[in-house]
Amino acid sequence: MPVGTLAPNMRIAHGVLSGGEILMPRWNREKNQIEFARVFPGGDFKYDAQISFFIGFDEFNGVKSAPVVGVLDKIASEVQRIIGATEAECRRIDLLK
């Protein structure tokens, strides 16, 4: 499933770039990766970088661009609810002791 990202913070403590460009960090859907620099053929990029970012799911079942942790917490809660209801029904019809 495609995801989207937002990279609000990028810090390059040390960087040497020749034959390329520094970009605002962004999600590349086609490559499924975060781009923060491009190095052209024959170029070189040595760096010490720290990037913080947020990840969100693409639209599915009515959820769009929501933080992953919140969505996963809701999914886990729903799974727990369904398992609890299934166990209760199994006890009611005497499948579980």
Domain count, the chain: 2
Q: For 35, how many CA atoms within 13 A lie in the half-sphere containing its CB? A: 15
Q: Which two tokens stand for residue 16?
A: 């040497």
Whether the predicted model's global pTM rises above the 0.85 cut: no
pLDDT digits (tens, 9 = 90+) for 63-83: 666 666 777 888 899 999 999
Query: Are residues 49 and 92 both part of a single domain?
Result: no
Same domain, 30 and 41: yes
Instruction: Quickly count: other Cβ atoms within 10 Å of residue 13's Cβ.
Output: 8
- pLDDT tens by residue, 1-40: 555 555 566 677 777 888 888 777 777 778 777 777 888 9
Q: In this structure, are 88 and 61 located in the same domain?
A: no
Say if residue 54 is in the same domain as residue 23. Answer: yes
Residues 55 and 37 reside in one and the same domain: yes
And the tokens for 53?
């970012």
Cα–Cα dist 63/39, whole Å: 36
Same domain, 34 and 6: yes
Q: Residue 85: which domain range?
A: 67-97
